[in-house]
Structure 1
Amino acid sequence: MMQNRTPVVLLPADSRQLGDHPFHVAGHKYVKAVVQAAHALPLIVPALGSESDIAALLEVADGILLPGAVSNVHPSHFDQDVRDPSLPLDPARDGLTLRLIRAAVDARVPVLGICRGFQEINVAFGGSLHQAVHETAGMADHREPDTPELEQQYAQVHTVRTVAGGQLAAMTGSSEFMVNSLHGQGIDRLGAGLVAEAYAPDGLIEAVSVAGAKTFALAVQWHPEWDVLNTPAYLAIFRAFGAACQARVVKRN
């Protein structure tokens, strides 16, 4: 029997065309945060769409991190047409993640969604998205500034208010904290079975959990992987996720 095995966290890859060839890629900042903040072993999963063997993936997984991406969830998954054809889509990733999310929650595999991953979880549970938050009445512009400086793109720009008595409030020990903001889309209709955990000042939902989940099942719209070791609220999320992954290891031994 293996004791104290390092948890394995799956990261669904983006399907990306680089030059003449397609690649399966994942952002270094997510991989690094899994290692340094969740104390887990990241394993990048190719975006094979409907060809992915979900049952086999869940046999391997002690946790799943759904990372952010350049692409958006295809709006056909929430019964809308594409609003802006210039924005990138990733049908292969949709075909993997939208099947994986519900199966993972049912199998009691811890799940953390970030940005696109947050939106994927909402869509997987039957919710819909604003395809352009900044063009929605009453909403602020949540996109990052047009600058090559990453420190400016990922700077903390607005507060989020956690829901009293919620999981995120308990996890972070805070009713309000600052976050970065790098997204053009966001939750419109909340998915069935999801619970809002935090809101932006304009009322946009910024965090959700899965009601009744038997383990960690949380997603956030901002990017807690950025400077995670130096940002207490961000670190608290990854520590809680990592602890849930380690608990799954113990149960499986």
Structure 2
Amino acid sequence: MTETTHIGMSLATSLQRQLDMTANNIANASTAGYKGEHMVFESLVQKGTPAGEDAANFVSDTGSYIDTRPGAMSQTGNPLDMALNGDGWFGYRMPDGQMSYGRDGSFTLDTDGNLTVLSGARVLDQGGAPIALPTEGIGALIVSEDGTISAEGTGPLARVGVFDIPEIQSYRRVGGGMLLPPDGAAAPTPAAATQVLQGVLELSNVNPIREMTRMIEVQRAYERTNALIGNSDTLRRDALRRIGQAV
């Protein structure tokens, strides 16, 4: 494998990952609370380059980061829609039992009174337990800024959990806006400074036009890189053929 081919393959691999990540951002541009994910690239210099030869630079993706900037707020009037004003995160118990976190506040009640999101994950309270509300005999739901859910004519029914996660960049995305903690991660603590807003949804912070532009640029770079790899291989084979003929 020639040096040019090696460099090209390194770049193509990184560009393919960026294409996949950008496509996922676009697919979730309308997902409530979704946070965009972006690549981190690093230029590496080949070690052991012979004297007199230029060092070869390789492009490597060193990982990705979650864009935690808040999305725009949308007034919905739905009493079960909730948004967070601050740095906190909602907690969920996924259908497979795993605990995850995110900013999707498009909540609904299933037939058993469980507070859930569209994926079926159940919303957690401050103690980390799934929230279940009475299915009948209560009035309109009222959610205070600390996440306490009450109903007209009744006392508090539950309190939506809002958590601080300082190490959110180490969490793994598992679909939509859900993030799974890494093995051995400390349990998130309550986010006292974050307000819960009722009848409001935080929209995705993805800019679809910017992501589409990025996808086109990355796709073109990927195609140019593959063409470079192909041309390099063709030149190498042609050179070997000429050497063979000369011998």
TM-score by length of 1: 0.23
Pick 1 or 2: higher relative contact order, CA cutoff 8 A, min separation 6. Answer: 2
Larger strand proportion, structure 1 or 2? 2
